[in-house]
């Protein structure tokens, strides 16, 4: 189904906390925009929405949904795109299974997720689910590179209202552990293709049997193509060793992966950790657990659920758990460990939170403790290692005086590791993996063993050039210290540098940029911001992800307040809200005590940018007025401390939207560029001010009791609206 017309601005329907917040904020945005003749439409990219769109055959007409993600994927390749993208669930298998179960319980005839597909029909269903799994939205929408930074108002606020930081001392036992070889980092090979070509990936077993793992992968001219693998044997030895070292050191064992975005490789690595942790149980009961459908890649939570009625297996698990070091917990009250669900501990958010807390994680006893942070691959682990060492030496960062690290990330067109899923394989046998071009040239070749994880990633020329040019623009606009976080000694980075250096030379700006490997760049950036100065981190895709949580969480307490712009390569605009995720813990709190602590500052920032983009792209003067007023309102929310509190009883997300609407209306009423708009918003501003007492008390009245939104993944629109819009006075004004 195609859409007849594209609204001026598209606001995405997502999941969890940001979607709950939209229940309150979006009616305000739509109503204000409409008054200025700006249309705001929605497109559903939620996990539930994507499942429904993928399996129409069992559904009634009313239940069916358009494939909005595919439609948006086309739109972002045009200059017309103006999309506000909120964070969505990048589903791990347990999340996917839970969402399917919920939809089935609501009467949607959706097939079960086939855990071990054997028939052709099951394999086809599985392929449809695999396209929904993991980070399936962002790579489709991100047809541009990433520009993430704190708006000046947000940074100023953070300096004037510094958040609490845990103390760091030289005695901290917290550290990062990574493999000393056999990992993706040490096995990487990289080459730049002169001409457009296609390639196939072939596995040749020791007995000469050839298996084509993938055929017809096509690359435009100038693509940087990498190949690497992680040795399963080296990984297992490393994990066994780290479990033992953790116990000896008296710290918590923690594993930090990105099983959502690295949806093929990282769940396998996570599964190795589950197996290493329960090694004697797998040795003794491997066959039985196989029968019960245990898949270690789905985590300890799923495993325990499947073996809970098997006393012998449960006893073996208890016995080995008693011998293990304590594990880093996701929720110690409920016994949820680091290894329960692969999507619970996600490195970009988990490591910064631990570092901000002074190197502390939560242990099974509900107390904070130092932690051994296991990050098997060495490509980016040095960033966290260097940060931790820096704080051990220098003490925690002071957010009152620290400068800022902005990020320009190479992200477009599935750049680097984040686009590697279709070309990642777990080896079923020992042999050689070859990457063979059309003309027969073998560009990469690795000797592998059974179980090794081999993957190829690629990065296209146009995004690389666009990224370097964006970096030049940003450096020029700010004058900040600008560092390309590239390691001359890493195969992939060396190929990138062959692009970067000539562009900088040709533009006569080579002297404005430094080039440093991630470890050195981390130290240099921390030194810079410690002095109160600012720097731009120009990075690849994974570091974009890691740094845009790490530095914001240290500087601002959260990455939710970030400005996150994707300048689409074909001219459109994609405005992401914040740099974080969908905050499942916030939903839990809303359901239990009707308090939503989600901070919509990211949405406010994105909204302002989106209006301004519309103003420029379509020469829409009213959109500019709306955008300027959004900035004033955002400033008002900060200046008057109207952001949500964390605890029930404090003002929450809904209160912050009331204040945002009020400041927005006041700014629109006060401006003199458009008399009609001023006249329209003057009575609204007055009504919002006059209604303050009623609105605040109506919002406060609902808090404390459980809230029902009719579902978790697929909520009921009317019930959610009732929960998120409990103020009749406010609703009447907004209309
Ligand atoms: N762009 C995207 O689409 C992204 C999606 N994700 C997805 O999000 C889900 C959760 O990921 P996770 O790694 O836990 O990261 P989150 O960013 O969702 O959560 C980490 C913590 O950050 C804080 N936080 C995040 N956003 C806000 C906000 N707007 N206001 C206040 N606090 C905030 C919360 O801290 P506290 O609880 O202490 O209040 C939260 O628990 C996963 O399904 C993941 O796949 C993750 C990253 C990006
Ligand atoms: O797409 C995802 O799964 C996460 C994205 C993310 O964390 C980011 O872009 O910062
Ligand atoms: Mg991230």
323-337 tens-digit pLDDT: 999 999 999 999 999
**Are 28 and 695 contacting, i.e. CB atoms less than 8 angstroms apart?**
no
CA dihedral 428, 190, 437, 220 (to 10 degrees): 120
Which DSSP string corresponds to 118-147?
-SHHHHHHHHHHHHHSBS-SHHHH--EEEE
| Residue to probe by mutation, ligand 1, list 87, 581, 588, 654, most atoms within 8 Å of CB | 581
Which ligand is the nearest neighbour of the Cα of 419?
A: 2
Which ligand is the nearest neighbour of the Cα of 348?
A: 3
Structure tokens at 165: 């930081």
Which ligand is the nearest neighbour of the Cα of 139?
A: 2
Q: For 435-487, what is each residue's pLDDT tens digit?
A: 999 999 999 999 999 999 999 999 999 999 999 999 999 999 999 999 999 99
Q: Is the CB of 186 under 6 A from ligand 1?
A: no
Q: Is the CB of 598 under 6 A from ligand 1?
A: yes
**Are 257 and 347 contacting, i.e. CB atoms less than 8 angstroms apart?**
yes
Q: Which of 582, 547, 457, 546 lies closest to 91, judged by CA?
A: 582
Q: Which of 675, 657, 678 lies closest to 667, judged by CA?
A: 678
Which ligand is the nearest neighbour of the Cα of 603?
A: 1
Q: Angle, nearest 10°, between helix axes 47-54 and 68-75?
A: 100
Q: Which of 725, 717, 720 lies closest to 708, judged by CA?
A: 720
**Are 538 and 501 contacting, i.e. CB atoms less than 8 angstroms apart?**
no
Determine the distance separating the centroid of ligand 2 and the alpha carbon of 137, expressed in angstroms.
9
Determine the distance separating the centroid of ligand 3 and the alpha carbon of 231, expressed in angstroms.
26
Determine the distance separating the centroid of ligand 1 and the alpha carbon of 350, expressed in angstroms.
10
Radius of gyration for the chain, computed over Cα atoms and rounded to the nearest angstrom:
26
Please report the pLDDT score of residue 650 as a whole number.
Answer: 97
- Helix locations, 395-490, DSSP H: 461-478
The pTM assigned to this predicted structure is 0.96
**Are 399 and 556 contacting, i.e. CB atoms less than 8 angstroms apart?**
yes
Q: Which of 178, 379, 184 lies closest to 268, judged by CA?
A: 184
Determine the distance separating the centroid of ligand 2 and the alpha carbon of 601, expressed in angstroms.
18
Residues 6 or more apart whose CB falls under 8 angstroms from that of 556 comprise 150, 154, 155, 158, 163, 399, 562
Pocket of ligand 2 (CB under 6 A): 90, 135, 138, 260-261, 348, 545, 548, 579
Determine the distance separating the centroid of ligand 2 and the alpha carbon of 222, expressed in angstroms.
27
Please state, in angstroms and rounded to a whole number, the distance separating the CA atoms of residues 153 and 167: 27
Q: What number of other Cβ atoms are within 10 A of residue 616's Cβ?
A: 13
**Are 6 and 80 contacting, i.e. CB atoms less than 8 angstroms apart?**
yes
| Residue to probe by mutation, ligand 2, list 259, 545, 546, most atoms within 8 Å of CB | 545
Q: 329 — phi, psi (to 5°)? A: -110, 145
Q: Is the CB of 176 under 6 A from ligand 1?
A: no
Determine the distance separating the centroid of ligand 2 and the alpha carbon of 261, expressed in angstroms.
7
Q: Please state the atom number of ligand 1 nearest to the C-alpha of residue 578.
A: 29
Q: Please state the atom number of ligand 2 nearest to the C-alpha of residue 544.
A: 10
| Residue to probe by mutation, ligand 2, list 89, 260, 564, most atoms within 8 Å of CB | 260
Please state, in angstroms and rounded to a whole number, the distance separating the CA atoms of residues 97 and 115: 10
**Confidence band for 4, pLDDT divided at 50, 70 and 90:** low
Q: Is the CB of 343 under 6 A from ligand 1?
A: yes
What is the average per-residue pLDDT within 578-589?
96
**Confidence band for 5, pLDDT divided at 50, 70 and 90:** confident
**Are 674 and 622 contacting, i.e. CB atoms less than 8 angstroms apart?**
yes
Predicted confidence (pLDDT) at residue 602 exceeds the cutoff of 80: yes
Determine how β-strand 144-149 pairs with β-strand 405-409. antiparallel
Determine the distance separating the centroid of ligand 1 and the alpha carbon of 311, expressed in angstroms.
37
Determine the distance separating the centroid of ligand 2 and the alpha carbon of 582, expressed in angstroms.
10
How deeply is 222 buried, as exposed, middle or buried, from its count of CB atoms within 10 A (0-12, 13-18, 19+)?
Answer: middle
Please report the pLDDT score of residue 3 as a whole number.
Answer: 62
Share above pLDDT 70 across residues of the chain, in percent, rounded to a whole number: 99
Q: For 393-411, what is each residue's pLDDT tens digit?
A: 999 999 999 999 999 999 9
Nearest CA to ligand 1 atom 40: 583
Structure tokens at 156: 């100023």
| Residue to probe by mutation, ligand 2, list 581, 582, 584, 602, most atoms within 8 Å of CB | 581
Determine the distance separating the centroid of ligand 1 and the alpha carbon of 326, expressed in angstroms.
25
Nearest CA to ligand 2 atom 1: 135
Eight-class DSSP state of 423: G
Please state, in angstroms and rounded to a whole number, the distance separating the CA atoms of residues 470 and 464: 10
Determine how β-strand 535-539 pairs with β-strand 82-85. unpaired
What is the average per-residue pLDDT within 676-705?
97
Beta bridge partners of 40: 9
Chain Cα centroid distance, residue 203? 33
Q: Is the CB of 644 under 6 A from ligand 1?
A: no
Beta bridge partners of 516: 485
Determine the distance separating the centroid of ligand 3 and the alpha carbon of 87, expressed in angstroms.
10
Q: Is the CB of 88 under 6 A from ligand 1?
A: yes
Nearest CA to ligand 2 atom 4: 261
Q: Is the CB of 34 under 6 A from ligand 1?
A: no
* Residues, the chain: 735
Please report the pLDDT score of residue 637 as a whole number.
Answer: 97
Q: Which of 123, 176, 144, 8 lies closest to 76, judged by CA?
A: 144
Please state, in angstroms and rounded to a whole number, the distance separating the CA atoms of residues 470 and 491: 24
Predicted confidence (pLDDT) at residue 161 exceeds the cutoff of 60: yes
Please state, in angstroms and rounded to a whole number, the distance separating the CA atoms of residues 29 and 31: 6
How deeply is 97 buried, as exposed, middle or buried, from its count of CB atoms within 10 A (0-12, 13-18, 19+)?
Answer: middle
Please state, in angstroms and rounded to a whole number, the distance separating the CA atoms of residues 267 and 263: 6
Which ligand is the nearest neighbour of the Cα of 558?
A: 1
Which DSSP string corresponds to 89-111?
--B-HHHHHHHHHHHHHTT---P
Please state, in angstroms and rounded to a whole number, the distance separating the CA atoms of residues 239 and 276: 7
What is the average per-residue pLDDT within 177-197?
98
What is the average per-residue pLDDT within 720-731?
98
Determine the distance separating the centroid of ligand 1 and the alpha carbon of 558, expressed in angstroms.
9
Q: For 27-53, what is each residue's pLDDT tens digit?
A: 999 999 999 999 999 999 999 999 999
Determine the distance separating the centroid of ligand 2 and the alpha carbon of 608, expressed in angstroms.
22
What is the average per-residue pLDDT within 367-394?
98
Q: Please state the atom number of ligand 2 nearest to the C-alpha of residue 134.
A: 3
Which ligand is the nearest neighbour of the Cα of 411?
A: 2
**Are 218 and 292 contacting, i.e. CB atoms less than 8 angstroms apart?**
no
Predicted confidence (pLDDT) at residue 1 exceeds the cutoff of 80: no
Eight-class DSSP state of 345: S
Determine the distance separating the centroid of ligand 2 and the alpha carbon of 173, expressed in angstroms.
30
Q: Is the CB of 262 under 6 A from ligand 1?
A: no
Determine the distance separating the centroid of ligand 1 and the alpha carbon of 406, expressed in angstroms.
20
Q: Is the CB of 647 under 6 A from ligand 1?
A: no
* Structure ipTM over 0.85, yes or no: yes
Q: Please state the atom number of ligand 2 nearest to the C-alpha of residue 346.
A: 7
Please report where in the chains the tokens 């040019």 appear, as a residue: 469
**What's the mean pLDDT when you consider all of the chain?**
97
**Are 481 and 539 contacting, i.e. CB atoms less than 8 angstroms apart?**
no
Q: Please state the atom number of ligand 1 nearest to the C-alpha of residue 601.
A: 29
Please state, in angstroms and rounded to a whole number, the distance separating the CA atoms of residues 151 and 122: 49
Q: For 624-647, what is each residue's pLDDT tens digit?
A: 999 999 999 999 999 999 999 999
Q: For 488-530, what is each residue's pLDDT tens digit?
A: 999 999 999 999 999 999 999 999 999 999 999 999 999 999 9
Please state, in angstroms and rounded to a whole number, the distance separating the CA atoms of residues 600 and 574: 17
Q: Please state the atom number of ligand 1 nearest to the C-alpha of residue 584.
A: 10
| Residue to probe by mutation, ligand 2, list 261, 582, 602, most atoms within 8 Å of CB | 261
Determine the distance separating the centroid of ligand 3 and the alpha carbon of 578, expressed in angstroms.
9
Please report where in the chains the tokens 């004037």 appear, as a residue: 160
**Are 313 and 289 contacting, i.e. CB atoms less than 8 angstroms apart?**
yes
SS3 724: helix
Nearest CA to ligand 2 atom 8: 545
Determine the distance separating the centroid of ligand 2 and the alpha carbon of 586, expressed in angstroms.
18
Which ligand is the nearest neighbour of the Cα of 347?
A: 1
Residues 6 or more apart whose CB falls under 8 angstroms from that of 355 comprise 384, 387, 388, 391, 550, 553, 554
Determine how β-strand 368-374 pairs with β-strand 252-255. parallel
Which ligand is the nearest neighbour of the Cα of 356?
A: 1
Q: For 541-568, what is each residue's pLDDT tens digit?
A: 999 999 999 999 999 999 999 999 999 9
Q: For 190-211, what is each residue's pLDDT tens digit?
A: 999 999 999 999 999 989 999 9
């Amino acid at each position: 189904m195609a859409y007849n017309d594209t609204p001026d601005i598209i606001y995405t329907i997502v999941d969890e906390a940001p979607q709950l917040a939209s229940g309150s904020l979006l009616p305000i945005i739509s109503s204000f925009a409409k008054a200025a003749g700006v249309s705001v439409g929605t497109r559903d990219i939620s996990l539930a929405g994507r499942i429904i769109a993928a399996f129409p055959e069992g559904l009634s007409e009313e239940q069916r949904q358009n494939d909005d993600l595919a439609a948006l994927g086309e739109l972002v390749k045009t200059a017309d795109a103006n999309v506000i993208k909120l964070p969505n669930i990048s589903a791990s298998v347990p999340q996917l299974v839970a969402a399917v179960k919920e939809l089935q319980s609501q009467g949607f005839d959706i097939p079960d997720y086939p855990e071990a597909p054997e028939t052709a029909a099951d394999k086809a269903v599985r392929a449809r689910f695999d396209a929904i799994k993991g980070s399936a939205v962002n790579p489709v929408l991100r047809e541009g590179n990433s520009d993430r930074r704190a708006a000046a108002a947000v940074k100023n606020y953070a300096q004037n209202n510094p958040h609490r930081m845990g103390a760091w001392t030289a005695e901290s036992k917290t550290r990062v552990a990574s493999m000393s070889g056999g990992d993706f980092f040490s096995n990487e090979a990289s080459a730049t293709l002169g001409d457009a070509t296609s390639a196939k990936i072939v596995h040749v077993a020791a007995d000469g049997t050839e298996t084509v793992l993938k055929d017809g992968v096509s690359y435009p001219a100038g693509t940087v193509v990498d190949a690497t693998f992680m040795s399963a044997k080296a990984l297992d030895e490393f994990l066994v060793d780290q479990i033992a070292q953790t116990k000896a050191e008296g710290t918590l064992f923690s594993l930090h992966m990105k099983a959502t975005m690295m949806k093929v490789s990282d769940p396998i690595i996570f599964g190795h950790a589950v197996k290493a942790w329960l090694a004697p149980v797998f040795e003794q009961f491997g066959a039985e657990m196989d029968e019960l459908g245990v898949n270690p890649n789905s985590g300890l939570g799923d495993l325990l659920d499947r073996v809970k009625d098997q006393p012998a297996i449960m006893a073996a698990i208890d016995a080995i758990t008693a011998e293990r070091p304590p594990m880093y917990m996701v929720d110690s009250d409920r016994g949820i460990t680091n290894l329960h669900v692969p999507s619970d501990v996600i490195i970009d958010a988990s490591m910064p939170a631990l570092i901000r807390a002074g190197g502390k994680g939560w242990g099974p006893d509900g107390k904070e403790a130092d932690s051994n942070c296991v990050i098997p691959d060495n490509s980016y682990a040095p960033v966290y290692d260097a940060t931790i060492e820096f704080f051990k030496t220098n003490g925690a960062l002071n957010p009152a005086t620290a400068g800022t690290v902005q990020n320009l990330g190479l992200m477009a067109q599935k750049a680097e590791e984040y686009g590697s899923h279709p070309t990642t394989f777990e080896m079923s046998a020992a042999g050689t993996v070859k990457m063979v071009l059309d003309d027969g040239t073998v560009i990469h070749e690795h000797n592998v063993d059974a179980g090794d994880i081999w993957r190829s990633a690629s990065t296209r020329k146009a995004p690389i050039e666009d990224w370097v040019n964006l970096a030049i623009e940003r450096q020029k606009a700010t004058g900040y210290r600008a560092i390309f976080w590239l390691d001359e000694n890493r195969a992939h980075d060396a190929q990138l540098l062959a692009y970067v250096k000539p562009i900088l030379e040709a533009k006569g700006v080579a002297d404005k940029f430094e080039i440093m490997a991630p470890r050195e760049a981390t130290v240099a950036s921390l030194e810079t911001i410690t002095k109160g100065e600012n720097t731009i981190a120009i990075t690849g895709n994974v570091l974009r992800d890691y740094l845009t949580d790490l530095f914001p969480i240290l500087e601002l307490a959260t990455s939710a307040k970030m400005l996150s712009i994707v300048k689409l390569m074909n001219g459109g605009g994609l405005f992401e809200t914040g740099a974080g995720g969908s905050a499942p813990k916030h939903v839990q709190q809303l359901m239990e005590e009707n308090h939503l602590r989600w901070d919509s500052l990211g949405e406010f920032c994105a909204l302002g940018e989106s209006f301004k983009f519309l103003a420029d792209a379509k020469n829409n003067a009213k959109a500019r007025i709306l955008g300027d007023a959004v900035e004033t309102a955002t400033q008002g929310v900060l200046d008057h401390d109207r952001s949500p509190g964390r605890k029930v009883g404090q003002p929450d997300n809904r209160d912050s939207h009331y204040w945002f609407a009020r400041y927005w209306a006041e700014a629109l009423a006060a401006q003199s560029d458009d008399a009609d708009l001023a006249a329209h918003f003057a009575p609204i501003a007055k009504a919002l001010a006059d209604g303050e007492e009623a609105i605040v008390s109506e919002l406060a009245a609902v808090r404390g009791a459980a809230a029902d939104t009719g579902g978790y993944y697929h909520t009921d629109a009317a019930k959610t609206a009732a929960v998120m819009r409990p103020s009749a006075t406010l609703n009447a004004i907004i209309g």
